[in-house]
Chains A and B, each alone.
Chain A
Amino acid sequence: MVTKEEYEQIEAYLNGTLKTEQRAQFEQRLRNEPQLAKETAEQRLLLQSFRVYGKRNQFKEQLEGIHQEMQAETARSKRLAFESYGVRAFWKKHLPTMAVAASVALVTVFSTLLVMDYVRSLENKQATYYRALKREVDNIKRKQNVTNDLPASNAPVVVPARYSATGFVVSSNGYLVTDYHVIEGANSLFIESRAESRSDKIQRYQVKEVYSDPARDLAILKIVDTSFVSFGQLPYTFKTTESELGEPVYTLAYPREDIVYGDGSISSLTGFEGDTTAYQISIPVNPGNSGGPLLDGKGHLIGIVKGKSVAEDGAAFAVKSKHLLKLIRSIPKDSLSGTLALPRTNRMKGLKRPEQIKQIQGLVFNVKVYH
């Protein structure tokens, strides 16, 4: 332990405040007295530590000030950005994902729309280019009739047919064939023949659908009227093979209330858009021609008229008889009441056209469809 006086000397020596001679004297003592030298060294170290300590504290204070200032600045800018911060962080985080999702959604939506539009346009095209030939009975006339008939409540209300087309007999016991699109959704079906109207013999029967094939556009009908007996032996037969290109053909149908004859030839062995189940024929046809029989010069039934192309002139189509036969064969036995026996003998082979027509016109009927 140093005394207070000694300590003051050490302090003065280290501070450099000793006078020259005192200083020399003190240094002399340091050399001679190890205890004093040790104390001096310790004091020097202590002073140095004080300096480091002081400097550091002071420095720290200054830096703390800077830190506070910086915090304040950040807080200020944070406060400014506070309102938009949440939204901005959200966008920053999710923008890429959302962008991808949105573009996928957009692409999907638009491609779907485009594809749908394209498909619809194709459908429209088909619908515009192809027309099934059932005849829609004049709407206004029908309505007028209904209104006229209404007051006489006792009188039976005559509801005119909604559609009218053609059908023909395929077997003598009352089976007929027509197009599926004619009877589609029908409530009740009637057939009428005015072929022999001059002799006042209007044949009118109620029929029902027995079997139909929407794909080939064919339907088999059966007369359900009890008054019906038989058509007798049918004069025509069905051709099982395909006819040749250019073969002269003709048809009978009810595009209006009277039977109409039309002739032409097979102009193509395929139907609308390459449909192999049909012929293209060059017979002028109109709504109402649907279901009309297509016959060749020898009295073979070779097809059933079903529609025409709107885009081309004079291009009508008829289902090939082969497919009609296939359909008849595929009818389940229990849907038939009585056998469906197809005619076997052709009685029209040598006849001239008017004679042939006379033979068959009684077998072609106007199919009236009621909804």
Chain B
Amino acid sequence: MNKNSYGSEEELLSAVGRQDSTALNLIYKTYFPMILHFVIQNNGTEPEAKDVCQESIIVLYENTQQPGFALSCKIKTYLYSVCRRQWLKRLAEKGRYVGKVEDFENFVALEDERAAMDEREKQFGVMRQALTQLGEPCRTLMEDFFVHSLTMQQITDKMGYTNADNAKNQKYKCLMRLKKLFFAGYRSD
């Protein structure tokens, strides 16, 4: 790995935590081939490998945001472990589990992070599904407000509402529907 810009793994990791694009670039380009190889050797395709790789890096990022997180192994090993876990999960979901996993690297069990990771996974999955079910224009409204953090005034302008109160009403209605959908999904899972 190119260590010129990052003296150590810790520095690189903290750069990932800051969402530093150079660090992400470096990590992505360095480890994508490894992940691609793993996924393809284990009954996967290149697009799937891409998804798994991106998910794994996101998980790495999310984990760096957790209080008290410390990397106990190399980034490579950690990323491989995460990717391995993600991919096996996907295979299991699709009923494509092949039994013996072909491994190419050492990996760690990720015991400490597992619960938090599963929780975020669930939240993300349920939220995505709920938003899809919610439909337009509620979805855009919700995303603009909660994800892109637009103000009510900006949303009013963007969506063409006559005034902010109108927008607020709309937002309330949408949110209630979303909540229903979300918790229906969240609890059934």
Contact = CB atoms under 8 A, between A and B. Distances in A.
A62 interface: yes
A45 B53 CA distance: 27
Interface in B1-56: 19, 21, 24-25, 28-29, 32, 50, 53-54
Contacts of B32: 67, 70
A140 interface: no
A52 B176 contact: no
A7 B175 contact: yes
A276 interface: no
Interface string B153-189: 0000000000000001100100110110011001000
A63 B126 contact: no
Interface in A54-103: 54-60, 62-64, 66-67, 69-70
Contacts of A62: 19, 21, 24
A7 B168 CA distance: 11
Contact of A4 (B127, B128, B142, B169): B169
Contacts, number: 78
Interface in A304-363: none
B124 interface: yes
B1 to A, nearest CB: 15
Given A1-B176, A42-B183, A63 B24 contact: yes
B24 A66 contact: yes
A91 B142 CA distance: 58
A147 interface: no
Interface residues of B, number: 36
B73 interface: no
B115 interface: no
B57 interface: yes
A63 B179 CA distance: 30
Contacts of B62: 52, 55
Contact of B29 (A45, A55, A58, A66): A66
Contact of A53 (B24, B57, B124): B124
Given A7-B175, A62-B21, A70-B28, A49 B54 contact: no
Contacts of B29: 66, 70
Nearest to B56: A63
A50 B58 contact: no
B133 interface: no
A63 B50 CA distance: 10
A60 B58 contact: yes
B151 interface: no
A47 interface: yes
B77 interface: no
Contacts of A7: 172, 175-176
Nearest to A70: B29
A48 B123 contact: yes
A62 B123 CA distance: 21
A18 B146 CA distance: 18
Contacts of B50: 67
Contacts of A42: 179, 183
Given A52-B127, A57-B147, A63 B172 contact: no
Interface in B90-147: 120, 123-124, 126-128, 131, 142-143, 146-147
Contacts of B124: 49, 52-53, 56
17 contacts: A1-B176, A43-B179, A46-B179, A48-B123, A49-B126, A49-B182, A53-B147, A54-B147, A54-B148, A55-B62, A59-B61, A62-B24, A63-B24, A66-B21, A66-B25, A67-B50, A67-B54
Given A49-B126, A50-B146, 6 more contacts: A4-B168, A49-B124, A50-B142, A52-B120, A59-B19, A67-B53
Interface of A: 1, 4, 7, 42-43, 45-50, 52-60, 62-64, 66-67, 69-70
Interface of B: 19, 21, 24-25, 28-29, 32, 50, 53-54, 57-58, 61-62, 120, 123-124, 126-128, 131, 142-143, 146-148, 168-169, 172, 175-176, 178-179, 182-183, 186
